[in-house]
Chains A and B, each alone.
Chain A
Amino acid sequence: MSQKDRTERLLNLLFALMASSRPVPKHVLRDAIEAYKDSPSEEAFERMFERDKDELRSMGVPVETVEGADGVGGIEGYRVAAADYALPEVDFTADELAVLGLAARVWEQASLGPAAQRAVQKLEALGSGAVVDGPVGIETRIATAEPSFPVLLEAVRTRRAVRFDYRKPGDDAPEGREVQPWGVASRRGHWYLVGHDVTRGAARVFRLSRVVGTASPVGEPGAYAVPDGIDVVGMIAASAPRPGSLTATVRVVPGRAHGLRRRAVSTTPDGSGDLLEVPYSDDEALAADVVGLGAAAVVLAPESLRSAVVRRLTVAAGEGPA
């Protein structure tokens, strides 16, 4: 089947569904559309018809399924109501069209890029004008390299569980997870899935780049409800390490250690440098950051942090045991 033939078949199906105000039974559609009439078997027709119906729906065509289309019950019929088919009339100003052009470019290289293109075509067909594709002093891009992104987006929308293999950095092997997705979110350039982990029986946050292969839907759509008032981004932020309740005293040289300076709760001039009070939670994590600064930062307290730094420096200098 060529692309032209399939496009023509879909278009004729759409016309047939829109032409009648009453639901059209499947057998009537089979007789009305050339390509269906020519299908070699009932089974082949059914497969073709189901695929076409799904395709139209995924494009936004509201194909309704109606029970009892013959007036008696039992037979399924289909229809597309003209009122539901059409994009509501909206009239965009020239400035709004420029903003829409900017928005359409955001997904340029990402999985929703083609969808944005199609959306723009539809909006322009309303006739208020062309979406402007010109520079406006700002460009925003969202990347979606993760192959599971479209699957998860669909799963969130249709409330359908997904199954995937998940592997954290440093893990030997991936672990299978089953999750009821609540939302997909990007934070600091990384995509996350937030949902109810069925395997663990609790809410969990997953980083999409750690999904091995592609997630696949399981079970029926509409299988669960998303709890009210979910703060997806907040849950992701909460899953990241926190500043902590300990305080370190670090001496830094002038004009250096800007990252540490930003984290400090107080800065006091001290001879040729500054004394910083830095909140933290883990000796080893802060020691790594301080060692990264070389001679620009020296820990004065606490002693446990100081010795962690000295131990790391000794190893890095090639003078001690690894």
Chain B
Amino acid sequence: MSAVRRSPDTAATRLSRLLALVPWLSAHEGVTVDEAAQHFGVTSEQLQNDLWLLICTGRPGHQHGDLVDIQFWDEDGRITVVDAQTLDRPLRLSPDEAASLLVALRVLAQVPGPHDRAALAGATTKLETAAGEALTAADGVTVAVDTSSDPEVSAAVTRALAEGRALHLTYVGALDERTERDVDPMRVLTLEGRTYLEAWCRRAEAVRTFRLDRIEEAVVLPEPAVVPDDAAPVDLGSGALRPEGAPVTLELAPEVAWIAEEHPVESVTELGDGRLQVVMLVADERWLVRLLLRLGSSVTVLDRPDVVERVRAEARAALAAYSTSS
């Protein structure tokens, strides 16, 4: 597996690679420098440097027979491990390493999706065995994923993805409106503790994410899912769904400062006495109007007089119901 994110090559990351490299090369007799470099996510030059470093080390004394012996200077670029010294086996997992994979596997076990449950259970058991004492680190971290979605919805989404079929959804979005649509499922995404269906929406003719707990009904359609070639999957680079929309500047009183924790904000400026100025990206004004109604006078919109006017109009319309219904 090539490195997804290249971490800076510190002494520790490099040593870790060297300790994995020797047994990996032993298990892959005759592999080339280029192939090994690709596997470890480094350049061929870097890999050769690693090999040079390795063959200069060994047991104290550094006599012949004490040193690591790896040959890699043949014209075909093939690598042969002649003497691995004591490095013939990979180093056991550190607590962090064990925790990283085990916590992730435990999260995957909670998440609906088409992934192989038997393989998940098998990999978890084997990894727990391999981790030994490092296992305790994984027990100190718990990730709870929201599981409030309808089990029938989860099952339909999983089946559609596994069988490559389209879905009919009844969905209530962030704007509190119920919609009906046919979608071509792409992936189940779990981000920030919430689970979404990523799909090509035939109605919007675009990729959309649907919160699983807001799907009221999902029906697997007989027809196959056809995702257009140019449908761009959500960029998971930031580990969260990035809102799109126009920036709006709000001033928050201390009692509603939690808004900056609950909603993605572009920037936060402290104004003193616990007051905050935040810039938020708002995709749909109707959502902002509702938020402002909810928070009342604790929040002030600094740069959108038109939104302020809409909030007033909505409040007047709502008040009318109280004078007639009493």
Contacts and interface: CB of A to CB of B under 8 A. Distances in A.
A joins B in a complex: yes
Given A55-B12, A85-B89, A90 B319 contact: no
B82 interface: no
Contacts, number: 405
Interface in A83-140: 84-88, 90-93, 95-110, 112-127, 130-133, 135-140
A201 to B, nearest CB: 23
Contacts of A85: 86, 89, 91-92
B5 A113 contact: yes
A246 B20 CA distance: 61
Main secondary structure, interface of B, reads helix
Contact of A60 (B134, B238, B254): B134
Contacts of A309: 322
Contacts of A306: 322
A52 to B, nearest CB: 9
Given A59-B91, A112-B100, A291-B318, A7 B115 contact: no
A292 B119 contact: no
A189 B211 CA distance: 14
Contacts of B188: 137-139
Interface in B125-159: 126-127, 129-130, 132, 134, 136-137, 140-144, 146
B119 A186 contact: no
Interface string B174-212: 001110000001111111111000000000000000000
Interface in B10-46: 10-24, 26-28, 39-40
B14 A3 contact: yes
B101 A186 contact: no
A59 B90 contact: no
B104 A116 contact: yes
A291 B127 CA distance: 51
Nearest to A233: B144
B14 to A, nearest CB: 5
Interface stretch (B56-64, B72-80, B243-251): B56-64
B15 A60 contact: no
A114 B111 CA distance: 23
Nearest to A172: B274
Contacts of B23: 125-127
B15 A185 contact: no
Given A98-B119, A124-B1, A316-B296, A135 B187 contact: yes
Interface stretch (A65-73, A214-222, A293-301): A293-301
Interface stretch (A38-46, A256-264, A275-283): A256-264
A188 B192 CA distance: 7
Contact of B237 (A6, A33, A109): A109
Contacts of B104: 102-104, 106-107, 116, 140, 142
B219 interface: no
B260 interface: yes
Given A125-B90, A186-B193, A255-B177, A60 B18 contact: no
Contact of B239 (A84, A99, A109, A137): A109
Interface residues of B, number: 131
Interface string B280-300: 000000000111111111000
B318 A116 contact: no
A199 interface: no
Contacts of A103: 101, 104-105, 108, 123
Interface centre among B104, B116, B146, B321 (most CB of A within 10 A): B104
Contacts of B260: 169
B216 to A, nearest CB: 8
Contacts of B2: 133
Given A4-B53, A116-B97, A137 B16 contact: no
B144 A185 contact: yes
A317 B100 contact: no
B105 A99 contact: yes
B107 interface: yes
A138 B116 CA distance: 11
Given A132-B1, A137-B188, A315-B297, A7 B53 contact: yes
B67 to A, nearest CB: 9
Nearest to A108: B4
A60 B94 CA distance: 4
Q: Closest 8 CB pairs between A and B?
A: A127-B27, A189-B192, A292-B294, A170-B254, A60-B94, A138-B113, A95-B119, A156-B140
22 contacts: A15-B57, A32-B60, A58-B12, A61-B91, A86-B90, A87-B90, A90-B129, A102-B108, A104-B100, A106-B104, A112-B100, A113-B4, A122-B90, A127-B23, A133-B2, A142-B103, A153-B140, A156-B140, A189-B191, A288-B294, A291-B294, A316-B297
Interface of A: 3-4, 6-8, 10-12, 15-16, 18-19, 32-33, 55, 58-62, 82, 84-88, 90-93, 95-110, 112-127, 130-133, 135-143, 150, 153, 156-157, 169-172, 181, 183-190, 207, 209, 232-233, 236, 251, 255-259, 288-289, 291-296, 298, 300, 306, 309-310, 312-319, 322
Given A122-B91, A255-B177, A288-B294, 6 more contacts: A15-B57, A92-B126, A113-B4, A138-B188, A143-B192, A312-B296
Interface of B: 1-5, 7, 9-24, 26-28, 39-40, 49, 53-54, 56-61, 85-86, 89-101, 103-105, 107-108, 111, 113-116, 118-120, 122-123, 126-127, 129-130, 132, 134, 136-137, 140-144, 146, 161-162, 172, 176-178, 185-194, 214, 236-240, 254-255, 257-258, 260-261, 273-274, 289-297, 311-312, 314-322, 325
